[in-house]
Structure 1
Amino acid sequence: MSGYEVNFDGLVGPTHHYAGLSFGNEASTKNKQAPANPKLAAKQGLLKMKALTALGLKQGVLAPQERPHVPTLRQLGFYGDDHQVITQAMQVAPDLLSALSSASSMWTANAATVSPSADSEDGRIHFTVANLNNKFHRSIEHTATSAILAATFKDERYFVHHAALPDVELFGDEGAANHNRLGGAYDQASVQVFVYGQQYLNGNIKPKKYPARQSLEACQAVARLHQLDERKTVFIQQNPAVIDQGVFHNDVIAVSNQQVLFYHQQAFLYSEKVLGEIYQKMAMLGQEFIAIEVPEQRISVANAVSTYLFNSQIVTRTDGRMSIIVPEESRQNQAVWGYLNDMIDMGTPIDEIQIFDLRESMRNGGGPACLRLRVAVNEQEYQAINPHVLMNDQLFDRLNGWIDQFYRDRLVQADLADPMLFIESRTALDELTQILGLGSVYDFQK
């Protein structure tokens, strides 16, 4: 197999806490106000990164964002020095301070949509940073995300960076959490599959309880920006009924790798039609399409959401076979664990289950796949990536020591006003940019 898929995982930030900010994400709202452990959360994520490198996979790190985000607090009318701004916010609007202290940028599946050079007309990798405008606490991320991605993928011969789409509901964009790439080798042409929750222009099928965060219009705009061939592009509407059951992104109900799409029976609207389109377009590329549909009678949507089964990662090992990376919650659910073991015996390309304890991030509403952004590259493109962000034993040890130095093992909302937390967080991020060779990507560094 030629080319690589590099998984870029987000480091959990020092202000990780449970604020219940994500309406429509039932795990997030359920754990509101529970004590969080930022140190454990960051270390759990780091262990997953290290384990994937041990499988022979390429793994990178994306830095967390500056939190609390004092510039936004100033924009909203708080004044004085930085500590005074934070103190005022806690006194007057503690939930606002909580939103602006969120560590949600760890969900790098929402950072951007990425199209590899093999699929783009100009032969370069395209990044469109997501506007995430459905949630205030995430809508402020794209500026820093753009800076971090630009510092990671610098070489303009290989990488193109697009700004976030207009910050309106019509172009609501949640990034790669609603995007799949189906094909063979990572550096060869594929079929790109965009999944949307609602069509705003000339569309009327939408969820009733929870918002549809991704629009068709946003998907179409990203496809144009990335110079994709419509003959190799598919747009699928997510089933509104599953959005209303807590499936806030497609990656909570479906996951893909190379020619494999692993999805729940209820995942898509007009499922038979759109899967037929994928089959047809894959065949045009001379590629086999392997669809693994999980029946509702085996695993309910509720079980899929609570265990984050489909928010797993499917990865190709160096021996050409595939492993599925699932959270511990999947093993603890009898129906889900039984199905996974049956699937291994079905003769699909997936023949191994890897289990990770990601409890701290799971309680905030995301599993293994939420934590990573996939970037398919050829050898030259891989060599052009900022080498300081690529995981190895030395970086793992250094980041572990960095976490031990700066992260707390308990954090609740009241702690967000602690001036020492603010100092600890800024000092940590300043040092991290040096470890990862990012330069000045944060507002306080400029």
Structure 2
Amino acid sequence: MSGRWSVVWLVALVGGCLAALSENMFYEDPLLICGEESLEYTLQLLDTNISTRLSVYDADGNGTPLVTDEPCGIRITPASDGYVVIYAQHDGCYVQMMENNYTMTIFLEVNTTGEWEVYQKEDLMCPISEANDAPAPLECSAVPAGSRLACASPPVSQDTCNLKGCCYDQADTRTPCFYGNRVTAQCTTDGNLLVAVFRGVTLPSLLLSSVKFSAASGTDCRPVAQNDDFLLFSFPLSACGTTRSVIGSKVVYKNNLVADKSVVTWGGSSITRDSTFRLNIRCSYIESDSVPLSVEVFTLPPPSPASSVGPLNLEMRIALDENYQQYYAAGDYPIVKVLRDPVFVEVRILNRGDPGVVLTLGQCWATTPEDPQQLPQWPILIDGCPFDGDNYMTKPVNIQPSSLEFPLHYKRFIVSTFKFEPVGQASLSGLVSHLGLLCSICHLASSE
């Protein structure tokens, strides 16, 4: 039986000759149907004038007549022209798990001499579909009821739902089986690829409208379902840029899911605040039903502080939060941040107690080299104002006069974390690590 399965499965994927009975049930042999929870076998009996019976061995190796036995997951029904149909649950008494298959041996016995003798033996074998890991409870509870995307239509059992790698909520009659807040991939036995993507799988969150299969083309490769938090792709393994290779007796299918990044350009420099998202999917069939899945997300840390020395001592530092009460110390750098995270920047005058001195900011920019005058550069402030060519503009922070002894000695603003993008084929090295700054100091005229 294992040889027939391999041949038919190859033909099914290449030539489309696998006959589908219903959802998740397929022909391996004209008389054997392999389903996700049970197998079905059609057997022809002998002439009614001969005493015959069906028998089977249980898990302990004891032979017993095979009859309808609902507690053991067995049901036998007569069919036309002397055939019977045997239904056996995979988790019943007589189906065994051997390597990657469900197996069951049925005997047709005859009695012509007063002794029962084996007339026909049938070794049935169905491949075990690879089960995904059930999501952790937190991955399920984090999905609001209004954002749930159905993984299977009701009615569906919790075991079946978990085998698909999905969450189950018995109290939810509308969407009891739904995808968790991660990436869930399924390579089905009928040769389809299903991928559900949760937008919070990266930090910052994915822009779902940018997620696609890298080599896909055509409308059939677009998401088949989506809401504010999820995308669901479903298409045949032969479509949407999937590559096929043969390794020994295995057929391996590979595809890549990516997300486009929004890149902003100014003065020869380019930046982005979107995560790099790459999802590599591999489906193996025939001898191995494994579905390996990996997700890699790369983010860069925020700028580190800089200081400038002139007629007055100035310091640029980064606060822990929007309250500007605590600041990162020198030993805290480099600080790990996520793209689009706020960076709370403060510039102040040091060691001056003159209330008439006013700090104003002229030009402020970010760069990767140690020399802040070198390229590439990205403007943060221009003439003291937020750069309007950025899709995440710098936000000035108002300072309350009562909060500091000399409030005019301070300037504060919030920058959204970004990273520099390569220009052409050149690869940029280093982090967004320096802020250049041009400041001016003026003295308030006396009111007398």
Give your verdict on TM over 0.5.
no
- The structure with the greater share of residues assigned to helix is 1
Give the TM-score range, shorter chain: under 0.3
So what's the TM-score if we normalise by structure 2?
0.25
**Structure number with bigger Rg:** 2
- The structure with the greater share of residues assigned to strand is 2
**Relative contact order (alpha carbons < 8 A, sep ≥ 6): 1 or 2 greater?**
1
So what's the TM-score if we normalise by structure 1?
0.25
